[in-house]
Amino acid sequence: MDDGRPTGPDANGWSRPTPPRTAARPTPEPPAPLSPAPLSPEPLSPAPENPGPPSQPPEPPAPARTPASGTQAAHLTGEAPAGRPRALHDPDPYGTPPCGGPGPWAPAPPVQQSPQWLRYDPWGTPPSPPSPPVREAIGEKGHRRRAVVVMVVVALVTGVIGGGLGAYSVLNGSFSDVRLPQAGRESPARAPGTVAGIAASALPSVVTLHVRGGDEADTGTGFVLDREGRILTNNHVVEPAGSAGDITVTFSGGESAKARVVGRDSGYDLAVVQVTGVSGLTPLPLGNSDNVQVGDPVVAIGAPFDLADTVTSGIISAKDRPITSGGGKNDGSDVSYVDALQTDAPINPGNSGGPLVDSKARVIGINSAIRAADDSSDTEGGQGGQGGSIGLGFAIPINQAKRVAEELINNGRAAHPVIGVTLDMKYAGDGARVAARANDGGPAVAPGGPGAAAGIEPGDIVTGVDGEQVHSAQDLIVRIRAHRPGDRLALTVRRDGRVRPVTLSLGSADGT
């Protein structure tokens, strides 16, 4: 800190260091005042690192002031005041006037002193770090400019590409409604042997029957037998109509007509009805069930659960399958005995009475019964409340159905072939045993009948028909019903452990 004693040149003066001198020399005369030169429009160049003597023109001297003391006078004359050491050099006549001093021009900027001449102030603010070189700042700014340019170029290219793709999509319909590829229309005709071909040929001849009588109603299927409007179906389909019920027949084209019963037989589970006032009917051709072999393809057509014109397909699973169905009246009058064709073509309630056709669309059977999963007995497919198909369907062979239909049309009833004996339906052994007495108490072997003529007696057990084994009374009835009255049969009869062959001619009994 200053203690009031001068330690160097006055702070109001500006000096430039000079070489040391050995003697004082007179103060030079101040130069004549110069006219102020016009300000140059050119920018000043930055000062070099080692500045030399100032090159700017000298500024006019400050106006003379009345010296206040010897010290101030010494400052103006360049002489050192008395009692004070002389400065090592004289004031620069061309230097900058004291800071804040008046002058005809704007004050000159303060002189930039090098760091070694700065006075250290421990209480001052530490000097700021030196600014980065100009070239480095310019480099960073250049990098930023290049990054911005790249981003702009990428944005422009992306926009051009996106616009091009959008225009291409619009021109090529990419933004229109989606349309998936699809095959063109083809001819509906199908090969005759295919399921579609068989169905197309048979469907126009298949009908749906709606039957009402009293509190009962049923739905079944049938098919056209001739151009006179006769239709073949199952007996259990039309049975609810009784004698005063209503039967409506609906054809595949949607036309409907009332029908009447021509004849029916519960033992064969067959019926014939007839419509009137309908023209253009197409009868369905009949095949020959004797030609059918296991494994032959078949098609079933009907109205399961009232779904008209339903087509299913399968094969013949077995032949000569003895089945009994019906029996709802508990007196045996509605029990049917059928030597059936078995098929895996799905048959359900409503299919009853419909045709089972071969690969040539010819009828080989009448769909009649199914084996339900919850019942060990064969049930009539047309009765409501029965289970659906499990692949065990049964059809009346067309050869038997044809004979019965002809008799119903011609006579109003069908004849049943018989052997003239009463069978024990409760016998649990193997074969069919002749009962001791008839149901009405009469003889079990009708006098003068076919059985009596062949020597059959009560208690005899029939074990075979035409070389096929018989395991129950139902089996024997089914085998007999598969023939016509007058046909000859070869029976195998066991009596007292002895087996003997018996030949007889079938008799006839009116059916109901």
CATH number at residue 447: 2.30.42.10
- Considering the domain architecture, whether residues 451 and 339 belong to the same structural domain is answered as no
Q: What is the dihedral of CA 456, 457, 461, 465, to 10 degrees?
A: 10
Q: What are the C-alpha distances in Å from 150 to residues 139, 143, 161, 214?
A: 16, 11, 16, 94
**Domain end marker among 388, 413, 438:** 413
Concatenating the DSSP letter of every residue in 267-333 gives TTTEEEEEE-S--S--PPPB--GGG--TT-EEEEEE-GGG-TTEEEEEEEEEEEEEEEE--TTSSST
Joined together, the tokens standing for residue 179 give: 């349309």
- Let me know if residue 374 belongs to a domain: yes
Q: What are the C-alpha distances in Å from 69 to residues 5, 75, 102, 337, 369?
A: 16, 10, 21, 160, 149
Q: How many residues does the chain have?
A: 512
**Domain end marker among 373, 393, 413:** 413
- Let me know if residue 223 belongs to a domain: yes
pLDDT in tens, 214-259: 888 999 999 999 999 999 999 999 999 988 899 999 999 999 999 9
- Considering the domain architecture, whether residues 272 and 374 belong to the same structural domain is answered as yes
> Strand, coil or helix: what is 154?
helix
pLDDT in tens, 435-448: 999 988 999 999 99
Residue 130 to residue 121: CA distance in whole angstroms = 19
> Strand, coil or helix: what is 56?
coil
- Considering the domain architecture, whether residues 422 and 406 belong to the same structural domain is answered as no
- Considering the domain architecture, whether residues 312 and 443 belong to the same structural domain is answered as no
Buried b (16+ CB within 10 A) or exposed e, 109-121: eeeeeeeeeeeee
- Let me know if residue 89 belongs to a domain: no
Joined together, the tokens standing for residue 163 give: 């616009």
- Let me know if residue 64 belongs to a domain: no
- Considering the domain architecture, whether residues 332 and 452 belong to the same structural domain is answered as no
- Considering the domain architecture, whether residues 237 and 297 belong to the same structural domain is answered as yes
- Considering the domain architecture, whether residues 198 and 227 belong to the same structural domain is answered as yes
Residue 299 belongs to domain with CATH number: 2.40.10.120
- The residues near 308 (Cβ < 8 Å, ≥ 6 apart) are 208, 250, 252
- Considering the domain architecture, whether residues 437 and 409 belong to the same structural domain is answered as no
State the total domains in the chain.
Answer: 2
Where does residue 419 fall: left (phi above 0), alpha (psi -120 to 50 degrees), or beta otherwise?
alpha
Q: Tally helices (H) and strands (E) across the chain.
A: 7, 20
Beta-bridge partner residues of 340: 321
Contact 346, 333 (CB under 8 A): no
Joined together, the tokens standing for residue 310 give: 């339903």
Contact 431, 360 (CB under 8 A): no
Contact 512, 333 (CB under 8 A): yes
- Let me know if residue 391 belongs to a domain: yes
- Let me know if residue 78 belongs to a domain: no
Joined together, the tokens standing for residue 8 give: 């160097």
Beta-bridge partner residues of 260: 274
- Considering the domain architecture, whether residues 303 and 436 belong to the same structural domain is answered as no
**Domain end marker among 413, 433, 452:** 413
Range of the domain at 438: 415-510
Contact 204, 177 (CB under 8 A): no
- Let me know if residue 304 belongs to a domain: yes
Residue 393 to residue 351: CA distance in whole angstroms = 10
- Considering the domain architecture, whether residues 246 and 309 belong to the same structural domain is answered as yes
Catalytic residues: 236, 269, 352
pTM: 0.64
- Considering the domain architecture, whether residues 228 and 351 belong to the same structural domain is answered as yes
- Let me know if residue 205 belongs to a domain: yes
- Considering the domain architecture, whether residues 441 and 348 belong to the same structural domain is answered as no
Residue 269 to residue 336: CA distance in whole angstroms = 6
Contact 501, 490 (CB under 8 A): yes
pLDDT per residue of the chain (512 residues) written in tens, 0 to 9: 444 444 444 444 444 454 555 444 555 555 555 444 444 444 444 444 444 444 445 455 544 444 444 444 444 444 445 455 555 555 555 555 555 455 555 555 555 555 555 555 555 555 555 555 555 555 666 777 888 888 888 888 888 887 777 776 666 655 678 899 999 999 989 999 999 999 999 999 999 999 999 888 999 999 999 999 999 999 999 999 988 899 999 999 999 999 999 999 999 999 999 999 999 999 999 999 999 999 999 999 999 999 999 999 999 999 999 998 876 665 556 688 899 999 999 999 999 999 999 999 999 999 999 987 665 555 554 444 456 778 899 999 999 999 999 999 999 999 999 999 999 999 999 999 999 999 889 999 999 999 999 999 999 999 999 999 999 999 999 999 999 999 999 999 999 999 999 999 999 987 65
